[in-house]
Homo-oligomer: A and B are copies of this chain.
Amino acid sequence: MCQLLGMNCNTPTDIIFSFEGFRRRGGLTDEHSDGWGIAFFEGEGCRLFLDYLPSISSPVADLVRAYPIKSTNVIAHIRKATQGQINLANTHPFGRELWGQYWIFAHNGNLSDLPSLEQGRFLPVGSTDSEHAYCWILNQLAERFQSPPSFAALRDTLKELSSTLAQHGTFNFLLSNGQVMFAHCSTKLHYLVRQAPFCHAHLSDTDLAVDFSRETQPSDRVAMIATEPLTDNENWTAMQSGQLIMLIDGTIQP
């Protein structure tokens, strides 16, 4: 299937270290070579880099590695196609505007017999189950809330909607509007919060380490979410099936 990478933090942070390990799974250390994408929120704006080339050999991935974009919310995805051709329209993350906010979504899993989108205002451009599910969620949110609800109300609604969609297959996903990030686990998703005292971290996919104590301020808090742990010397927490977490400023909300 695919792999997900998310970052949510309280101060704009670059994702170069983690991305270096993650991109290797797109054709080098793993088989997810059917395209990739990454979205960086900067304020209310968002940059979305997409490529249908494998992330290990993509010139766009070289740029992302070389250009330290600082962001408080990042969602990345490397694809192993299950439904839909390998092309740009089927490349995650997907983006839409709702309530005057950009919402970015990426999915790992495979869904079938999804509910119809006939009455909704959001429609998929490509042919993946993922974009169909994403549009269904946005249609439900748009129907229930005329303006942005509280984060708590949003979480409750997303929990209900995710639970409905998870009945149609595997539904691990990340969703963010640049302020808040939601992570839903159906089968596999791990998270980690980096905060003071910061320590060394070593990537699982290549022999690269970083000393975060030299790169950070004591007040920094960075939450990472990944399908598989990205480092081999930090304590990643495995999410439970059916669990939805909400992250704001690098903190998992109680």
Contact = CB atoms under 8 A, between A and B. Distances in A.
A1 B47 CA distance: 23
A195 interface: no
Given A59-B63, A59-B66, A60-B67, A45 B102 contact: no
Interface string A21-52: 00000000000000000000011111111110
A162 B97 CA distance: 23
A45 B126 contact: yes
Contacts of A126: 44-45
A168 interface: no
B96 A123 contact: no
B91 A45 contact: yes
A153 interface: no
Number of copies: 2
Residue from A42, A49, A67, A97 whose CB has the most chain B CB atoms within 10 Å: A97
Contacts of A42: 87-88
Interface string A123-163: 11110000000000000001000000000000000000000
26 contacts: A42-B87, A43-B87, A43-B89, A44-B89, A44-B125, A44-B126, A45-B50, A45-B88, A45-B90, A45-B91, A45-B125, A45-B126, A46-B88, A47-B49, A47-B50, A47-B88, A59-B63, A59-B67, A60-B67, A95-B95, A97-B123, A99-B123, A100-B123, A100-B125, A102-B125, A121-B121
